[in-house]
Amino acid sequence: MVSDKVSIHGAWASRWVFILAATGSAVGLGNIWKFPYMTGMYGGGAFVIMYLVCIFLVGLPIMLAETLIGRRGRQSPVHSLGALALESGASPRWSWAALMGMVAALLILSFYSVIAGWSLDYIIAMGDGQFAGISAEGAGAAFGALTADPWRLALWHTLFMLLTGFVIARGVVAGLERSLRIMMPLLFILLLVLLGYSMTTGHFMQGFHFLFDFQPDRLLEGVLAALGHAFFTLSVGVGSIMAYGAYMPRRASIGSTVLAVGILDTLVALTAGLALFPIVFAAGMEPGAGPGLMFVTLPVAFGNIAFGQVMGTLFFVLVLVAAWTSSISMLEPAVAYLVERTQRRRRLVTSALVLLCWLVGMGTVLSFNVGAEAKFFVFAADGFHLFQWGAEGGRNFFDSIDYLTSRILLPLGGLAFVLFAGWVLRREAVREELAIDNPLLFGLVYWLIRVVAPLGIVVVFVAELMK
Ligand code: TRP
């Protein structure tokens, strides 16, 4: 029987709000910043194809697993997993996977906030006309000046953490649902305005071909990156979606809902690419710039074409909104867990966690400047060092947290969630929650959850570690 439990934190008004929330979580810096530059680096269409394959074979099955575990458990991820494990006669230690995910989400939030904070700086600089007519060197220098200044970075990081905490503190309905109902339509409108604008640049088809022309010889080049990105862009592997699933109405079909989220997320990534590359080409720049695409190449592009100042400002507002609707989903699992566990007020718990993430995020702030030489995980000639100042190789604080989360914790979390849904929960329970009527289609989806997704994760996990 479909469970009739309800969450103590509240419930979404409809399945539509779950779609808004999960899409808000999924659409973020990953779509607007990472996806376009990775496509630029890994050869356009070849990367796009691998990315789509990974989304459908691995990413969406994990999202299904998370949503159905959350809705059946009706509690924070840690408690949902624990309760369902007991119900199914399995070890309650399965909840450790969600605990690990929860910590990973907080770690991701700590650096995500720093990068999202840059968009605040850029909204002001763009709106103020500081990029008008700027050269590539000028934009590079402006970006360098921002990252070199720990005080400026700390200011924006602080502000962004406060924005995130503000929404979460007000609760599932008054905070999350209400702000998502405003921010998500805004996000889509901004994206469409930018797309319309890029169609007027006269370079639209050039951008289109870049994104979709297929070079078969480059197909395998980006496969590892594509899978890692599929995790990140769908927000799976840490319990964000699981936490949102707990607030989902009982009757909604999880299968079609999750498919809608996956399609929307992909559409936004492709649209962002279609909107941005023509603008880059119109300014006579190269799209393969790597991570600097958003903060160096684009400002130059916007600074040198008609209406660039207005459009550039709108673009960074879009980035801010997208990042904001993602960051709240990183905080929710931990807030829900601590509220359940300590019975304290949501506001108090949120404040404590915001402070914690803020502190860890200061490590990322310093990695771009005074702390750039603080290296972790150093493999040197004289052996392994956990920490060494100024070591050759090794990773600074930001790179270490990024590596630890996206290469290790996300895949492990995702693996645990699909295995739990596929092998611990009863087949009947999964069938009921997914509500896929066609037996053939259900069989296919169940097989993706049980076999294909776990194998995909393991293969890529091992390949990544050996790189
Ligand atoms: N999906 C978001 C993006 O594309 C980032 C994100 C939100 C995320 N919640 C997450 C990534 C949880 C990993 C895990 O920017």
Q: Do 330 and 232 meet the contact criterion of CB atoms below 8 Å apart?
A: no
* Count of helix runs (H) and strand runs (E) in the chain: 23, 2
Q: What was the pLDDT predicted at 2? A: 52
The best mutation among 37, 112, 327, 331 to test binding of ligand 1, ranked by most ligand atoms within 8 Å of the C-beta, falls on 112
User: How many residues are there in the chain?
Assistant: 467
Cβ 105 under 6 angstroms from ligand 1: yes
User: Using one digit for the tens of pLDDT, what is the confidence trace for 128-140?
Assistant: 999 999 988 899 8
CB-based contacts of 94: which residues, under 8 Å, 6+ apart? 81, 82, 84, 85, 416, 420, 424
In angstroms, what is the span from residue 7 Cα to ligand 1's centroid? 23
185 secondary structure, DSSP code: H
In angstroms, what is the span from residue 234 Cα to ligand 1's centroid? 6
Q: Which of 207, 189, 209, 190 is nearest to 198 (CA)?
A: 207
In angstroms, what is the span from residue 247 Cα to ligand 1's centroid? 19
Q: Do 40 and 238 meet the contact criterion of CB atoms below 8 Å apart?
A: no
Alpha-carbon distance 459 to 228, whole Å? 12
Q: Which of 335, 369, 340 is nearest to 352 (CA)?
A: 335
Q: What was the pLDDT predicted at 245? A: 96
304 secondary structure, DSSP code: T
Q: What was the pLDDT predicted at 38? A: 87
Q: What was the pLDDT predicted at 26? A: 97
Q: Is the pLDDT of residue 1 over 60?
A: no
User: Using one digit for the tens of pLDDT, what is the confidence trace for 249-299?
Assistant: 988 889 999 999 999 999 999 999 999 889 888 888 887 766 778 888 889
> Average pLDDT in the 368-382 region?
85
Cβ 243 under 6 angstroms from ligand 1: no
Q: Is the pLDDT of residue 22 over 80?
A: yes
In angstroms, what is the span from residue 381 Cα to ligand 1's centroid? 37
Report helix angle 178-199 to 308-342, nearest 10. 150
Q: Do 366 and 153 meet the contact criterion of CB atoms below 8 Å apart?
A: no
Q: Kindly give the number of the ligand 1 atom that is closest to the alpha carbon of 330.
A: 9
In angstroms, what is the span from residue 354 Cα to ligand 1's centroid? 17
Q: Kindly give the number of the ligand 1 atom that is closest to the alpha carbon of 240.
A: 12
Alpha-carbon distance 214 to 195, whole Å? 22
Cβ 301 under 6 angstroms from ligand 1: no
User: Using one digit for the tens of pLDDT, what is the confidence trace for 124-174?
Assistant: 999 999 999 998 889 989 999 999 999 999 999 999 999 999 999 999 999
Q: What was the pLDDT predicted at 392? A: 79
Q: What was the pLDDT predicted at 223? A: 83
In angstroms, what is the span from residue 30 Cα to ligand 1's centroid? 7
Mean pLDDT estimate for the chain: 92
Which two tokens mark 435? 């509500």
Q: Is the pLDDT of residue 221 over 90?
A: no
Cβ 405 under 6 angstroms from ligand 1: no
Domains of the chain: 15-465 (1.20.1740.10)
In angstroms, what is the span from residue 315 Cα to ligand 1's centroid? 19
Q: Is the pLDDT of residue 381 over 80?
A: no
Cβ 25 under 6 angstroms from ligand 1: yes
C-alpha distances out from residue 246 to 224, 255, 444, Å: 31, 15, 25
Cβ 31 under 6 angstroms from ligand 1: yes
In angstroms, what is the span from residue 111 Cα to ligand 1's centroid? 12
In angstroms, what is the span from residue 27 Cα to ligand 1's centroid? 8
Which two tokens mark 51? 């990315």
In 3-state terms, the chain is what percent helix, strand and coil (to 5)?
75, 5, 20
Residue minimizing CA distance to atom 12 of ligand 1: 235
SS3 383: strand
Alpha-carbon distance 28 to 387, whole Å? 32
Q: What was the pLDDT predicted at 3? A: 58
Residue minimizing CA distance to atom 8 of ligand 1: 235
Cβ 456 under 6 angstroms from ligand 1: no
- 231 sits in which H/E element: helix 223-234
In angstroms, what is the span from residue 367 Cα to ligand 1's centroid? 21
Cβ 108 under 6 angstroms from ligand 1: yes
Residue minimizing CA distance to atom 9 of ligand 1: 235
> Average pLDDT in the 58-71 region?
96
Sequence-ordered strand ranges (E) for 213-352: none
pLDDT more than 70, % of the chain: 99
Q: Which of 385, 93, 63 is nearest to 241 (CA)?
A: 63
Q: What are phi and psi of 376, to 5 degrees?
A: -115, 160
Q: What was the pLDDT predicted at 463? A: 83
Q: What was the pLDDT predicted at 88? A: 93
Q: What was the pLDDT predicted at 202? A: 87
- 191 sits in which H/E element: helix 178-199
Q: Is the pLDDT of residue 4 over 70?
A: no
Q: Kindly give the number of the ligand 1 atom that is closest to the alpha carbon of 26.
A: 1
Q: Kindly give the number of the ligand 1 atom that is closest to the alpha carbon of 29.
A: 15
Q: What are phi and psi of 285, to 5 degrees?
A: -110, 170
By CB neighbour count within 10 A (0-12 exposed, 13-18 middle, 19+ buried), where does 59 fall? buried
Q: Do 415 and 458 meet the contact criterion of CB atoms below 8 Å apart?
A: yes
Cβ 266 under 6 angstroms from ligand 1: no
Alpha-carbon distance 7 to 234, whole Å? 23
The best mutation among 232, 244, 270, 409 to test binding of ligand 1, ranked by most ligand atoms within 8 Å of the C-beta, falls on 232
Alpha-carbon distance 116 to 36, whole Å? 16
pLDDT band at 222 (very low <50, low <70, confident <90, very high): confident
> Average pLDDT in the 443-455 region?
97
Residue minimizing CA distance to atom 10 of ligand 1: 235
